[in-house]
Amino acid sequence: MNVESVLRMNPGHEPYSYARNSTHQRNVLFKTMPIVKERVSALYRKAIFPKYFALADLGCASGPNSLLAISWIIEAISGLCSQTGRSLPEVLVFLNDLPGNDFKTVLSSLPSFYENLKEKNRVEINCYVSAMPGSFYGRLFPSRSLHFVHSSYSVHWLSQVPELPEQNKGSIYMASTSPSSVFQAYIKQFQKDFTNLLSSRAEEIVPGGEMVLILIGRSIPDPTSKDCCLLFWWLSRSLVEMADQGLVEAADIDSFNLPFYTPYKHEVRDVVEEEGSFTINHLETFVVNWDPFCHEDDESYVFDKLKSGRNVADCIRSVTEPILRSHFGEGLMMDDLFERHARLVGEHLSVEKTKHFNIAVSMTRK
């Protein structure tokens, strides 16, 4: 599988598009907003006052979230300049994702983005936004050209499917039933990719520059933990159900594995320290519900397993449908697959309200 050509979110604004099913990712962004703003402040505390401020968002995807973190970063810069009496720098923004990303939808939202910036900051901000297609596991920008790099919910996607020494039967991702060699192949691919990301950004970020990465992880070292495996276990079960009914080939399930990895926090730390270009400021963990509309602090909230299962299944569909179609073909009945997925997830959530375990790491370029 050529991951760069098939890994993308569902485009546009259709019912199963990423733009309409990324509330979960938005919730994560709001959770991590204080970290992002604090690291922008850290730049100014170090007396880095550039005439232009260059920042990149890796894995921007499309939809209402694509420019959210960017707007917060610019607001933080505006506030700091106001406090210190300094002139606002010109802001250069690079939105990065793989070439198949729906950049058209993102760029069409720029006029309203610029207008909102002006209204919120009450000053004219010279901001220039451009798309930068390509894999963030390699070089993307000129040497020492960036001051700040942000990425949310992208780094858990790998550059390629790990080379598995034996088949991962009946599953499309790591599972408790997977051979130990499968887990080893996944961690090896993650270590390689994450090292490449760090070394590439080390060339591109100015000394003292900042990087904040947020990704899905797992809470314990055991790679068979529910934090890791349950995310796609129910999707695997849905495909197996369809195979039992002759709707898909079992061999196609056995030969398909997702280019995805949910690391333990110490695995993230170990790679950063081994690569050596960055100093870790904070490495934090937090959880969010699978169902992005499940707010346990809302006294009026009533759990509905069918609705909750559908909320999760729609989110997963928006990020996996293109890559599933690339392997299983156009004949795969997506509505059928995700109806099954929604049912299984809803039944699971009626027993246990599982949460995504997330890792946020902020780093400074040495």
For residue 61, the enclosing domain spans 3-222+257-291+354-365
* Residue 217 located in a structural domain: yes
Assess contact for 249 and 243: CB atoms under 8 A: yes
pLDDT tens digits for 223-262?
Answer: 888 877 888 999 999 999 999 999 999 999 999 999 999 9
Assess contact for 255 and 321: CB atoms under 8 A: no
| DSSP letters for 172-211 | SS--TTS-HHHHHHHHHHHHHHHHHHHHHHHHHEEEEEEE
Is 298 a residue whose pLDDT tops 80?
A: no
Q: Chain-wide mean pLDDT for the chain?
A: 92
CATH code: domain of residue 83: 3.40.50.150
Q: What is the pLDDT of residue 46?
A: 82
* Residue 300 located in a structural domain: no
Assess contact for 201 and 155: CB atoms under 8 A: no
* Residue 308 located in a structural domain: no
Q: CA-CA distance, 152 to 288, in Å (whole number)?
A: 14
Q: Are β-strands 127-133 and 146-152 bridged in parallel, bridged antiparallel, or unpaired?
A: unpaired
What's the total number of domains in the chain? Answer: 1
Contacts of 129 (CB under 8 A, 6+ apart): 67, 70, 93, 95, 107, 110, 113
* Residue 279 located in a structural domain: yes
pLDDT tens digits for 167-196?
Answer: 899 999 999 889 999 999 999 999 999 999
**Residue count (the chain):** 366
* Residue 58 located in a structural domain: yes
Of the candidate ranges 130-144, 196-210, 339-353, the one whose mean pLDDT is the lowest: 339-353
* Residue 208 located in a structural domain: yes
Residue 8: which of 65, 340, 17 has the closest Cα? Answer: 17
Q: CA-CA distance, 292 to 355, in Å (whole number)?
A: 10
* Residue 117 located in a structural domain: yes
